[in-house]
Amino acid sequence: MIPQRCLDCSKKVEWVVLGINFGLFFFKGWFALMCYSKSLLVDAFESLANVLITIVVIISLKIASRGTDEKFPYGYGKVEFLAAAVVNMLLMLVAIIYIIMSLAEMAMVGPERPPGLMAGVVAAISILVNYIAFGYGRCAGEKVGSSAMLANSQINLSDIGTSVAVIVAVVGSNMGFPKLDHIIAILICVIIIKMTLDGIKKTVNGLMDITPHSEEQNVRSLIEKVVDAGQIGDIRTRFVGRSFLVNMDIFLPHDIVLSRGLEIVGKIKDILQSQRKDISDVTVQLLSLPVADEPVRKTDYLPKEINE
């Protein structure tokens, strides 16, 4: 069960992250102009991109929190997967643009005036602040199972990488190695792109209802003792945002009366929803066991198909 303090935290975490990113944009942008640091200026605009991405996440979480209605009987939970995909693609775009800018600057003659060392201090402060924002967002996202929050927390982690590149840029430029920072920045961006591709793959799996086999095995193990007089058939699970739906087939002998079957259905629902708080709905289809050696068919009902 998710602690109440974690639920309360999840409602404000993105607003806190939004404020942090907005503050970092002005903080780094001001000192970038004061210290003549191009790399710090790029880092500042990445914080601005983080602000826009966080706004997308806040809107998606607001939509996902809506209840079910006639138009969307399964709720709006999958909006979180869409938001996570948008966040990851925007982050990838930022990384690609940064690579292009770094390659363009590497092809040019280094700046006549090296950036001030204060730019490195600002970048170090940015690393600390972004790490706090990353840890805060990741903690809330893991506790409530929000893919959008987790994706957004990775953005602050990537911002740490660009800030490290800024420090290298400042130190390297002042030591006579103006292109070293660009090389390191490009390597960091490649890592960011790999990370975002993994994130997009996870969101696609969520949208396509691909559920880990372990989830189905866990559901089966929880209800095995309840279905002592019959057999458990197929178990299908479907993610809807932070929770998932369970649909299963239960085969019972012909001589079991309908009331006994409904009692088993009630116990299955009670066990699953008490043991797994992330299960939002359970649908059980009662079917009859085949006679003798006949194969199991879904046309053999008890005495008719029952959906609960």
The confidence score (pLDDT) of residue 30 equals 93
Nearest to 278 by CA among 163, 147, 190, 85: 147
User: Domain range for residue 139?
Assistant: 4-207
One domain, residues 197 and 236: no
Domain CATH number, residue 17: 1.20.1510.10
Q: Are strands 243-252 and 279-288 parallel, antiparallel or unpaired?
A: parallel
| Maximum mean pLDDT: which of 14-23, 113-122, 226-235, 291-300 | 14-23
* 181 in Cβ contact with 165 (< 8 Å): yes
> Token pair of 139, please?
């903690």
pLDDT in tens, 142-163: 777 776 777 778 778 878 877 8
Cα–Cα distance, 159 to 151 (Å, whole number): 13
Tell me what the mean pLDDT of segment 136-146 comes to: 79
One domain, residues 26 and 156: yes
Residue with the bigger pLDDT between 33 and 145: it is 33
pLDDT in tens, 173-225: 788 776 666 676 677 677 778 877 877 787 777 666 666 666 777 787 878 77
One domain, residues 61 and 203: yes
The confidence score (pLDDT) of residue 67 equals 66
Domain CATH number, residue 303: 3.30.70.1350
One domain, residues 93 and 240: no
One domain, residues 267 and 194: no
